[in-house]
Copies of this chain bind each other. A is one copy, B any other.
Amino acid sequence: MKMTIKEIAKLAGVSQATVSKIINNYDDVGQKTKERVLAIMDEYGYRPSYAAQSLVKKVTKVVGVIYAGHINANFNHPFFVEVVDMFKKTLGGEGYDLLFFSNEKFHKADENYLQRCQHYNVDGCIIIGGEQVEPSIYELDQSTIPCIGVDIELTGPHSGYIMTDNIQVSSMAVEHFYLTGRREVAFIGGEKESFVSRQREAGFRERIKAYGLQAPEEWFVYGDFFEESGYACMKELLRSERTPQAIFAISDLMAFGAMKAIKDQGLDIHDFAIIGCDDITAAKHVEPPLTTIKQDKQKIGRMAAFILKDLITGHIEQTSLKVDPELVVRESCGSKKPGVMR
């Protein structure tokens, strides 16, 4: 049976106030009293009620998790799930629990995240950015509730955001093509509305120019991050007059699709240099193993947790951070030794 503070107080022969002070670590309680009460609380496994506490204190030690906009397979998204996992572990160490908002019941435009945050009185929240983010997200962003965005730019007074440096992602891919002697390169992007895709494309175009590589407009094709679309994109590339030697796909799955398209066309996969993005488990198992650009999910998750905590405690306000990606060299790019001239 669940105990209340009143019962504990009676058992210990003190007032509720005294018990409460002990719970909240006030130091103006007698040592003897404290020990006695503590022993009783322990004996009965007493835990103060969250509802009652949060009603009067304004702190809950709960952080909301929101998947904004359309995220295919939100929860088991290969990238975000690892970010959130690390985020959870880090904040968990600080005593926070995570509340995942369901949005199945509210998928309409009238979902109001601010209201829901207020309803639960969360201390802050993490917002995972998908496509076509609801306006209500920005309302929350601009509120007094601390928010940390991942892959979404938050500008609220108590908000911050963090994401991989997507310009850098493309730089690394292009640079690797350059250093392995590729001159004609193609780009397989995501949906045109995709924030991440747009950034990577911008970085790609900029670097191409800087290195003087060739990429006619018809070598820019767009999928939806999934395998089938990569397949279709590659088919399209192979149909064009000149065929690119090197292909940068902004997701590993699309890179897989592209590889399959090349094989199906009867071409030698080793005549192509392919770079993917994400470094999912399967990347090292395909033939040939896929060179890819990896995001530092661990770091992003940890950082997000630290920043949010500082935002909550008022230690900082309004930050943003770009995290460097990492190049993972495997065989799909022809050369096992990047940087060696050939």
For chain A, the bracket of interface size reads 35 or more
Q: Does A267 contact B (CB under 8 A)?
A: no
Docked pose: A330 CA to B94 CA in angstroms: 46
Tell me whether A89 and B62 are in contact (CB under 8 A): no
Instruction: Write out, one digit per residue, whether chain A residues 35-73 have a CB within 8 A of any chain B CB (1) or not (0).
Output: 000000000010111111111000000100000000001
Interface window among A78-86, A124-132, A148-156, A159-167: A78-86
Interface window among A14-22, A112-120, A179-187: A112-120
Q: How many copies of this kind of chain does the complex include?
A: 2
Q: Does A24 contact B (CB under 8 A)?
A: no
Q: Does A96 contact B (CB under 8 A)?
A: yes
Tell me whether A50 and B119 are in contact (CB under 8 A): yes
Tell me whether A102 and B112 are in contact (CB under 8 A): no
Q: Does A256 contact B (CB under 8 A)?
A: yes
Docked pose: A285 CA to B256 CA in angstroms: 8
Q: Does A328 contact B (CB under 8 A)?
A: no
Q: Does A342 contact B (CB under 8 A)?
A: no
Docked pose: A287 CA to B284 CA in angstroms: 11
Contacts of A45 in B (CB 8 A): 112, 114-115
Known A-B contacts A81-B81, A112-B45; the reply to A93 vs B88 at CB < 8 A is no
Tell me whether B102 and A100 are in contact (CB under 8 A): no
Across the interface, name the chain B residue whose C-beta is closest to A61: B102
Tell me whether B76 and A105 are in contact (CB under 8 A): no
Q: List 24 A-B contacts (CB under 8 A).
A: A45-B112, A47-B115, A47-B118, A49-B55, A49-B121, A50-B54, A50-B119, A51-B51, A51-B55, A51-B121, A73-B85, A75-B81, A81-B81, A88-B102, A92-B105, A93-B102, A97-B101, A98-B102, A99-B100, A100-B100, A280-B281, A280-B282, A281-B281, A285-B286
Q: Enumerate the 10 nearest inter-chain pairs by beta-carbon distance, A residue then B residue, closest first.
A: A92-B102, A282-B282, A92-B104, A75-B85, A51-B55, A47-B115, A51-B54, A98-B100, A93-B104, A285-B286
